[in-house]
């Protein structure tokens, strides 16, 4: 078992608050501002979600970001896409982080405080998604770096918005605004920015009032299909991503 007093200060890119009813708010950040995703956060979030899922005092989890974006900035720092050992680390972390989110066996709400240009799969593995009018979705960095988007977005977007729409979204780097995302079933509610977390906590407190086994087992029941999809496809997608990264590395070396 894990306890908030143990892991509450263990993650430099996550800030925690928890209500008396067990609603845990997890705010992703970099130095208090919006998160800059890099190889260090990629590694860190594996254990972050594991610790959250192992804490029996968490009844509902709210995942949100800081500043004006949920996740729209990425740095190559800490990543090694271009050596077998380096990519093996990315491959193992990429598989594990998705399963660790699914292993959080209490209902999860994502409160998207702004654009989501990378790792939108984190949100798609949660149960309720709230957005602001400023929220947009895009899978940007994979093709920017010249690599296959195989880390889960390839599996979850076609599942959520339909096969043809999902493939178009990935292949064209489509920018999906909040209203379209809501119409297509990605977002449940669009909430003004100053009410986003208020609304998230309203919903969370209502869920936290349920009997613990009821809310927990409902999360488990609702995510069984997602668990199968991730278990069957994440490793393969990440392997394809690694092959494309090796080709990028060869091209750079030859240039």
pLDDT in tens, the chain (255 residues): 899 999 999 999 999 999 999 999 999 999 999 999 999 999 999 999 999 999 999 999 999 999 999 999 999 999 998 899 999 999 999 999 999 999 999 999 999 999 999 999 999 999 999 999 999 999 999 999 999 999 999 999 999 999 999 999 999 999 999 999 999 999 999 999 999 999 999 999 999 999 999 999 999 999 999 999 999 999 999 999 999 999 998 898 887
Sign of the C-alpha dihedral, residues 152, 155, 157, 160?
A: negative
| Catalytic residue status for 121 | yes
How far is it, in rounded angstroms, from Cα 209 to Cα 229? Answer: 30
Under 8 Å between Cβ of 224 and 135: no
Phi-psi region of 156 (alpha: psi -120 to 50; beta: other; left: phi over 0): alpha
Quote the tokens at residue 120. Answer: 């939108």
Token pair 């030859």 is found at 254
Question: What pLDDT is recorded for position 254?
Answer: 86
Comparing CA positions, the residue from 45, 15, 60 lying closest to residue 121 is: 45
Question: What pLDDT is recorded for position 249?
Answer: 85
Comparing CA positions, the residue from 43, 137, 53 lying closest to residue 94 is: 43
Task: Find the length of the chain.
Answer: 255
How far is it, in rounded angstroms, from Cα 208 to Cα 216? Answer: 10
pTM of the model: 0.97
Please name the residues in contact with 198: beta carbons below 8 A apart, sequence gap of 6 or more.
none
Q: Count Cβ atoms within 10 A of the Cβ of residue 177 and give its class: 0-12 exposed, 13-18 middle, 19 or more buried.
A: middle
In DSSP notation, 103-114 reads T--S-EEEEE-S
Question: What pLDDT is recorded for position 250?
Answer: 87
How far is it, in rounded angstroms, from Cα 209 to Cα 7? Answer: 25
* Catalytic annotation, pick one of 77, 93, 105, 121: 121
């Amino acid at each position: 078992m894990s306890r908030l007093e143990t892991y509450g200060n263990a993650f430099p890119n996550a800030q925690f608050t928890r209500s008396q009813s067990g609603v845990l708010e997890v705010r992703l950040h970099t130095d208090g501002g919006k998160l800059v995703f890099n190889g260090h956060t990629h590694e860190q979030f594996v254990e972050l979600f594991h610790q959250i899922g192992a804490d029996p005092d968490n009844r509902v989890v709210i995942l949100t970001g800081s500043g004006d974006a949920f996740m729209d900035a990425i740095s190559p720092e800490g990543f090694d896409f271009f050596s077998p050992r380096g990519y093996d680390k990315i491959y193992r972390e990429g598989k594990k982080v998705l399963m660790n989110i699914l292993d959080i066996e209490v209902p999860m709400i994502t409160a998207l405080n702004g654009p989501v240009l990378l790792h939108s799969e984190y949100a798609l593995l949660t149960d309720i998604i709230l957005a602001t009018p400023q929220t947009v979705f895009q899978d940007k960095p994979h093709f920017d770096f010249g690599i296959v988007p195989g880390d889960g977005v390839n599996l979850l977007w076609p599942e959520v918005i339909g096969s043809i729409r999902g493939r178009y979204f990935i292949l064209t780097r489509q920018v999906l605004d909040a209203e379209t995302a809501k119409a297509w079933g990605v977002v449940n509610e669009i909430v003004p920015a100053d009410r986003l977390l208020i609304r998230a906590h309203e919903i969370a407190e209502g869920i936290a009032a349920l009997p613990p086994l009821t809310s927990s087992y409902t999360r488990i029941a609702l995510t069984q299909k997602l668990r199968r999809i991730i278990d069957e496809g994440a490793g393969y997608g990440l392997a394809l991503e690694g092959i494309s990264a090796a080709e990028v590395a060869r091209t750079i070396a030859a240039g």
